[in-house]
Amino acid sequence: MSHWGLFSNSFGKLLHPVLWVYSLVIVLSSAAPGLAFLFNNPLLRNVDRAATPQTMLASLTPLLGLLIVFGVIGFVFATFGEAALIHLINKLEMHERVTMGMGLDGSDKIFQLLVVRVLLILPNILILLLAFAVMWGQLSSINLMSRGNPLAGLFGGICGLGAIAFLVNLLTAALLVGAERAIVIEKMPIGKALGLSGQLLVTQLGDFIIIGLIFLGLSFIISLVFGCVGQPLLGLMFRTASPTALLSGGLFTNPIMLLSISIGLLGNMLATILGTSVWTLAYRQWRVDRLPALPRNDFDDQMA
């Protein structure tokens, strides 16, 4: 199966109703911290009052705790949804009939998946802490009376750490592709799954790059379309909405806002199914000698 074959096969799975349910779980779970911020932000409720550093800190402290709680809950449910999607897509590729309850079968390895995700998130957290430490050190040593640009070193440090964080995020995301599927599809233990994911990244690096570039191109086209459609809608909404709509909650019942949220939700659900499907089918191709064979007509082409 060619790289485009992976995508065309995955497009055929976008309208499967069972996959929609679990993709909705993933999207809503991932958005949980953002929803908590929008609907429970004391700063928005007190925006008409005089703000001081003390009142802002007092308002942000409970909000930070709420974001952490919702973030952890969302992280667990998003992992559950991803495991279910991988399991169901693998079953569909085996030409088996899938039901809602079958998604629960893929979540029996949720503890292992959570451990793998946490392990792969740790490098990003360490880089974030390092970035704060560097910024703090640079800010504390800035001499505003110097002739040179006092912010040049700070800007250079931020750009350097940003580039490192980007590369590390790409690496951990690629490792997660193989590790999650090794755990869900082949029932591997954590250590073996991480070892296999590293091996796949090395041996199938070309496939990772090509598939990633295809996703990048699709994301650009979709963002362009949604931008052309969504920008006028949001502009119309804010021109017609009352200035106090955000404080009263009326903005979230605006028909244009509801339409925009629905379009965004639908787009994210389809993107979730597509991404999970493409990487799951690619994993099956990489592990074709270790997985149950598909009917012959599904192997007309070899991986490009």
| Residue-wise pLDDT tens digits, 185-197 | 999 999 999 999 9
How many whole angstroms separate alpha carbon 175 and alpha carbon 225?
31
Q: Quote the mean pLDDT of the chain.
A: 79
Residue-wise pLDDT for 148-158, tens only, equals 555 666 676 67
Question: Which secondary structure element, helix H or strand E, spans residue 223, and what is its range?
Answer: helix 205-240
Read off the tokens for 173. 């995301």
How many whole angstroms separate alpha carbon 100 and alpha carbon 104?
8
Global pTM reads: 0.80
Read off the tokens for 16. 């499967």
Report residue 147: phi and psi, to 5°. Answer: -75, -30
Residue-wise pLDDT for 53-106, tens only, equals 555 556 666 767 777 888 889 899 999 999 999 999 999 998 888 888 888 887
| pLDDT class of 183 with cuts at 50, 70, 90 | very high
Radius of gyration of the chain (CA): 23
Above 60 in pLDDT, residue 250?
A: no
Read off the tokens for 113. 């998946």
Q: How far is CA 228 from CA 162, 173, 239, in A?
A: 29, 30, 17
Q: Looking at residue 132, what is its pLDDT?
A: 76
How many whole angstroms separate alpha carbon 264 and alpha carbon 221?
15
Instruction: Please say whether the beta carbons of 161 and 130 come within 8 A.
Output: yes
Residue-wise pLDDT for 206-231, tens only, equals 999 999 999 999 888 887 877 776 66
DSSP 68-114: HHHHHHHHHHHHHHHHHHHHHHHHHHTT----TTHHHHGGGGHHHHH
**Domain layout of the chain by residue ranges:** 3-298
How many whole angstroms separate alpha carbon 151 and alpha carbon 154?
5
